[in-house]
Structure 1
Amino acid sequence: MFQFNRINTLRNQIFLGFMLVMLLVLVSVGFFTYGQVSELLRNNAEKHIQQTAVQATGKMDVLLHQMDTFTMQVATNASIQTLMAKEVGGTQLTFEERQVLQHEIRKQQAYVSGVQSIELYTNGFRVLFPLTDISLFNRVPNEWIRQVDHAAGQLVWFGIDPKNPNQITAIRRVRLIDQSFSNAGYLLVRIDKKYFELIDNETSSKEEMGLIDGSGQIIAANFSDDIPQDVLQQTDREKITMNGKAFIPVQKQLDAAAGWKVLILTPVDYATEGISVLRTAIEISVMVGGLLFLILTFILSTMITSPILNLIKAMRGAKYGSLKPIPVTSSTLEINELNNTYNQMVASLNELIEVVYQKEIIQSRTELKALQAQINPHFLFNTLEALYWALEDKEEEELSQVVVAMSGLFRYVINPADDDEWVTVADELEHAERYLKIMEMRLIDRLTWQIEAEESCRRVPIPKLLIQPLVENAISHGVEQQLGQGAVVITVEPSDRTGYIRVSVFDNGPGMSFDKVQSLYAAMKLGHVHDAKGTGVGISNVDRRLRLYYGEEAEGLQIQSEQGVGTKMSFEIPIEHGGELK
């Protein structure tokens, strides 16, 4: 047991674990890569074969279309049409007229290659050209003639000529254009088999291909061996074997000749020649990768365990760490030692955290007190200034009213009791009303004001001195900044958010631009709004206290302003932990 614990180290576990995982990964990746790349190689080979088939088929279709165009030009030639119409009318052509017919056909034949001969027959199968006396029945089987009649003027390809195996026969009906395309005879052409050569210098020599007619006869091919007839007829075979060699057959039907097709035989070895190379490369890669990872894993395990041992030594002399102890359940020697050292640090950490937590609470309360105290002298200075202007403008007959209002303001503001931080909305509104009365005495008829608050909203608790600084700002930056009469409206109403009320202070002063509003927001984040009149402290103080008292429940002070319209400052506060408004 002791010997097992000696070898059951983190280093050995990392080394063995990494080796097993990497070997599994290398083998899995090797098999996956082999399968995917093999499939890719096969697909590429099949695409190449299909592309070769399409090229060969396209070439054959072009040749067949050229011959179709040529025979159509011969059949629709004006002179030939006229002479054939005379023949259909019952008047046999004279020798001179047949020579004219010969001249026209020879002239057309001069513009095309591959045509060995052209023959023209009447509706009664009598030859008109060449100048012989052979019937069409003696030239081709009767079945061919029936197929031509059924084709209604289209060129019909029949394959190898029964009289000459080196020529290909095609026949079409000659129809009179001026007589509603009525049948006038037959046009027979013989084409040299070399005209249909599939293999040229640009074609891969590893692929064997041939042109097969509708009856299964080979028109042109470069097959190295005789192709079984069943291969020529069947089109759904994936692989064939000839003389011990496997081929992949691909057949493509021609559009220009019904039943004709191009057969391409590609050796299987050629299509899959890269797979064996791929298999060898993957095997070598797995072996080399395994060896390299064996060395790297040994180095990595050493690099991992050495810092852990150093960390254990450092942690033994430290007294700061995480919050909770962890159980010592690992069977690894290094991890057990690390856990023991860690748990010793937890006890000291918990004590330190508790001390820091208490200090943070005291610091937060101190900051709130400091912000609360900051507003008091600021407010007194501004109020004394307002009192000074009132005495200057109104003389002494209204001094008593000002003094009464000031005494109420001072009693509300200067109260050192710790339990007097929270008041009701009604108290705040009453305080704001006293301030407005003093401002009204000073500004005479330049100020009108109004307080609108629902009765249910007046009972909501609120931190002291949140509304009056906004009223002071409205008068200083709104009413006093315009020549005419100014108005201040205080509104307290339920918010659109359930369990919240909205407090708004509006003035119809000159308003602010969008950039000015954004600069106020930025200044409030810094904790102070610089203002020549000294009211900037009040605004930033209100915003800061809202965030300290309510945290995430309040969004802070919101400013809406438009030049020439006025400014509206508002904030939302919850109703006693989100309770419903009664």
Structure 2
Amino acid sequence: MLRTRLRHGMFENMWKTMKLRTKLILCFVLLISIPSITNAIIHYKTSSDIIVSNAEDSILEIVKKKTEISDLLLNTIESRTIDLISDPDLFRLFDREKPQTDMELLQMDRQASAILDKYFRNEQDFYTVQLVTSYYSFSGGGTTYTSTSPFVSVAPRGFVNSYIYDKIAVADGSLQWFPTYDLTRIFGQPELSGMDAKFRMVFSTGRLLNISPIIDGVSRSWPAEVERPVLLINFNEEYYRQNMVQTPTIQGSYFYVVSSEGQIVTHPDSSRLGMTDENGWYKQFKTVSGTSLVREGEEDVLIGYAASGITGWVTVYVVPYRQLLRNLPTVSYTDLFVTLVLIILSIAISYFISDRLTQPIKKMMAAIQQTGAGDFTTQIQDPSQLEFRILIKKYNQMNEKIAELIEENYKSTRREKEAEMLALNLQLNPHFLYNTLNIINWMALDREEAEISQMIVSLSTMLQYTVNNGQEDVLLEKDLNWLKSYTHIMEKRYAGIFEVEYQLGDLPSSAVVPKLFLQPIVENAIIHNMQTLEKDGRIIISGQRCGEELHFAVCDNGKGMTKEQINDLIIRDSGGIGIRNVKKRLNLMYGEQAKIQIQSEVGRGTVVTIMIPLISRLK
């Protein structure tokens, strides 16, 4: 780690002390060599991708064709087994009790052979075709349905005890396919285990025969006590390979067939027949057909696969990846030669360009020094190069902008001083107004106009509160006192029309609230909700502490509002600066903790509730 840091610091110092011309030469060399090398790599990668893509399409097409051919052959077999189900001769042959003598069994065997001969006479490549029951394997000695290979008759008892019989019995008459297995082991015939593997290893199909032919116009079926025979057809693994899979043309490639459970049906390596596919590729086959790039041992291989619609088995075509790219040319010497020529040209061009670049840079450095000394009026003439023209233009604009900001800052400072002077003058004007109101108050008292005097005192209190207190948040006690002065004046203004009642609970004296937050609500109740009343109007202003919140309500018995009017009041603030203004102020101060609720009924009145967090002046 320390060595890496030292090396990095050394290169960083070398770059800092390197001349501009040297940097340009180095940059030009890198700019030419890196794209050239990158282009060669991309060309190689693109070519290989095209080859692999074409190979994928070809491999997939081949394996799908092979699967279609196999499905045609297997479908023919299934069709013949279906024809066998409706055979009346076969129905009569087994429509009886279990034979008691060997002679009866031999007679049945000959008849069964004749029946099977009708349907499978031309299938010389079948290994065996048998009708198997728990007591006998019919057609076991015939040669019509076998190849030239040795014939192996299925042991009835071993067959009935095998998983193959169990699966056929559960299938209730549907055709079942079984991947390659050792029949001497599965059917309990160890005396035949010494046979050549190509005769022991078979794949099979079977069907439980529930025969129901139409005889003399009547549909017949066996009684329950009659044992249903099983049609069992065995195939050599060679049959699958010869009829459905041709020899691959690409060196090192091969076909094999695997069941959905991973059991190998056919494979060039006969020792793997009936074994579980150790590659585990079958677990990745999520679609009916496709291609995939996988690993086989130490080598990458491209596989194409397609599933049979009859058996569900998957035909896999394996092609070594290296064989696909064996004819792909490497990067040619021409590319290397062109790269070297471009590097030499870049060195020569860099010398020429560096000289042209240094002239405007020197001019700009001189101008920057003047700007650093405080001369923001410095302007540089536009050079001929477009890039430097843009840079110098931005530099000139920057100087102009700095000069404008300095001028604007000067004017802003001057306006602030003027505002301070205006504020001092405004502080003098209210004193004159207070004195005038005080004189009017004494004149009212001299004339024994107590109500007028009280209104003047309330107005003076309100004026003093609004002018002298420039804070946005105030003590709740002071704000309520101001509100009481306001409601007192409004009660006198609308004498006899309504009364205001305060129901204030145990509110903390140190609580802080937004200035005049209740006044717009009360004003809205007076001006809009009481306008239709001539008397008996009532406004109740209540407040209480609820945990860590303060709840206030303004309730009136005025004309009320519809839902549309309430929405219009909140959204458009049709009532002036009232509720919407209060809502904005509360949201600015408390965020989502502040809530305003409006409940109203036409002809009965309105209740506006405000809920805000409890904030103390001490906090």
Matches within 5 A, 1:385-424: 400-415=449-464, 419=468
2:556 matches 1:507: yes
**Partner Cα separation in structure 2 for residue 276 and residue 514 of structure 1:** 79
Shift of 1:198: 2.6
**Partner Cα separation in structure 2 for residue 464 and residue 247 of structure 1:** 80
- Structure 2 portions without partners, runs of 5+: 1-14, 169-176, 183-194, 211-221, 259-264, 280-294, 378-390, 441-446
User: Paired residue for 1:489?
Assistant: 540
Shift of 1:63: 2.6
Out of 139, 154, 159, which is 1:151 matched to?
159
2:325 matches 1:276: no
Q: TM-score, normalised by structure 2?
A: 0.49
User: Paired residue for 1:562?
Assistant: 600
Shift of 1:364: 9.2
**Partner Cα separation in structure 1 for residue 488 and residue 412 of structure 2:** 48
**Partner Cα separation in structure 1 for residue 25 and residue 367 of structure 2:** 23
**Partner Cα separation in structure 2 for residue 42 and residue 199 of structure 1:** 23
Shift of 1:372: 14
- Describe the superposition over 1:437-456 as per-residue Cα deviations: whole angstroms up to 9, x where unpaired: 45445545531321234565
Shift of 1:405: 1.9
**Partner Cα separation in structure 2 for residue 253 and residue 82 of structure 1:** 39
**Partner Cα separation in structure 2 for residue 247 and residue 575 of structure 1:** 73
Decide whether aligned partners of structure 1 residues 347 and 477 sit closer, same or farther in structure 2, where only a CA change above 3 A counts.
same
2:618 matches 1:579: yes
- Describe the superposition over 1:173-201 as per-residue Cα deviations: whole angstroms up to 9, x where unpaired: 9999766437799999999979953369x
**Partner Cα separation in structure 1 for residue 477 and residue 403 of structure 2:** 50
Shift of 1:487: 2.0
Are the equivalent residues in 2 in contact too, given 1:211–1:220 (CA < 8 A)?
A: yes
2:501 matches 1:450: yes
Decide whether aligned partners of structure 1 residues 33 and 8 sit closer, same or farther in structure 2, where only a CA change above 3 A counts.
same
2:89 matches 1:79: yes
Percent of residue pairs bearing the same amino acid type: 13
Q: TM-score, normalised by structure 1?
A: 0.52
Are the equivalent residues in 1 in contact too, given 2:501–2:540 (CA < 8 A)?
A: yes
The total of aligned residue pairs comes to 489
Are the equivalent residues in 1 in contact too, given 2:127–2:146 (CA < 8 A)?
A: no
**Partner Cα separation in structure 2 for residue 117 and residue 35 of structure 1:** 50
Matches within 5 A, 1:523-538: 536=576
Are the equivalent residues in 1 in contact too, given 2:539–2:555 (CA < 8 A)?
A: yes
Out of 178, 181, 189, which is 2:227 matched to?
181
Decide whether aligned partners of structure 1 residues 141 and 427 sit closer, same or farther in structure 2, where only a CA change above 3 A counts.
closer
Decide whether aligned partners of structure 1 residues 52 and 434 sit closer, same or farther in structure 2, where only a CA change above 3 A counts.
same
Are the equivalent residues in 2 in contact too, given 1:553–1:574 (CA < 8 A)?
A: no
**Partner Cα separation in structure 1 for residue 497 and residue 303 of structure 2:** 103
User: Aligned letter for 1:356?
Assistant: S
**Partner Cα separation in structure 1 for residue 35 and residue 89 of structure 2:** 81
Decide whether aligned partners of structure 1 residues 27 and 456 sit closer, same or farther in structure 2, where only a CA change above 3 A counts.
farther
352-361 vs 404-413, which moves further? 352-361
User: Paired residue for 2:244?
Assistant: 198
Are the equivalent residues in 1 in contact too, given 2:248–2:255 (CA < 8 A)?
A: no
- Structure 1 portions without partners, runs of 5+: 214-218, 222-226, 241-245, 321-334, 385-397
Shift of 1:479: 2.0
76-85 vs 310-319, which moves further? 310-319
2:95 matches 1:56: no
User: Paired residue for 2:412?
Assistant: 356
Decide whether aligned partners of structure 1 residues 344 and 452 sit closer, same or farther in structure 2, where only a CA change above 3 A counts.
same
**Partner Cα separation in structure 2 for residue 510 and residue 368 of structure 1:** 46
Are the equivalent residues in 2 in contact too, given 1:116–1:191 (CA < 8 A)?
A: no
**Partner Cα separation in structure 2 for residue 427 and residue 121 of structure 1:** 108
User: Paired residue for 1:329?
Assistant: none
Shift of 1:256: 9.0
404-413 vs 16-25, which moves further? 16-25
Decide whether aligned partners of structure 1 residues 579 and 34 sit closer, same or farther in structure 2, where only a CA change above 3 A counts.
farther
Are the equivalent residues in 2 in contact too, given 1:118–1:190 (CA < 8 A)?
A: no
User: Paired residue for 1:553?
Assistant: 589
347-356 vs 471-480, which moves further? 347-356
- Describe the superposition over 1:322-342 as per-residue Cα deviations: whole angstroms up to 9, x where unpaired: xxxxxxxxxxxxx9xx99x99
Shift of 1:481: 3.2
Are the equivalent residues in 2 in contact too, given 1:489–1:506 (CA < 8 A)?
A: yes
Are the equivalent residues in 1 in contact too, given 2:305–2:314 (CA < 8 A)?
A: yes
RMSD: 7.6
User: Aligned letter for 2:618?
Assistant: G
**Partner Cα separation in structure 2 for residue 301 and residue 503 of structure 1:** 79
Decide whether aligned partners of structure 1 residues 361 and 181 sit closer, same or farther in structure 2, where only a CA change above 3 A counts.
farther
Shift of 1:56: 3.1
Are the equivalent residues in 1 in contact too, given 2:504–2:543 (CA < 8 A)?
A: yes
Name the SS for the 1:450 alignment partner. strand
User: Paired residue for 2:80?
Assistant: 70
User: Aligned letter for 2:412?
Assistant: V
Name the SS for the 2:541 alignment partner. strand
- Describe the superposition over 1:133-171 as per-residue Cα deviations: whole angstroms up to 9, x where unpaired: x999998747x2256763347899999x99xx9xx9999
Shift of 1:468: 5.0
Name the SS for the 2:559 alignment partner. coil
Decide whether aligned partners of structure 1 residues 279 and 58 sit closer, same or farther in structure 2, where only a CA change above 3 A counts.
farther
**Partner Cα separation in structure 1 for residue 466 and residue 145 of structure 2:** 130
User: Aligned letter for 1:271?
Assistant: L
Are the equivalent residues in 1 in contact too, given 2:137–2:154 (CA < 8 A)?
A: no
Decide whether aligned partners of structure 1 residues 496 and 99 sit closer, same or farther in structure 2, where only a CA change above 3 A counts.
closer
Shift of 1:518: 5.8
Decide whether aligned partners of structure 1 residues 51 and 358 sit closer, same or farther in structure 2, where only a CA change above 3 A counts.
farther
User: Aligned letter for 1:411?
Assistant: S
Are the equivalent residues in 1 in contact too, given 2:248–2:254 (CA < 8 A)?
A: no
**Partner Cα separation in structure 1 for residue 569 and residue 71 of structure 2:** 81
- Describe the superposition over 1:284-312 as per-residue Cα deviations: whole angstroms up to 9, x where unpaired: 9x979x99xx8999999999997997798
Shift of 1:488: 1.8
Shift of 1:571: 8.6
User: Paired residue for 2:186?
Assistant: none
- Describe the superposition over 1:337-396 as per-residue Cα deviations: whole angstroms up to 9, x where unpaired: x99x9999989968964863674586599699999999x99xx9xxx9xxxxxxxxxxxx
User: Aligned letter for 1:579?
Assistant: L
Shift of 1:566: 1.3
Name the SS for the 1:404 alignment partner. helix
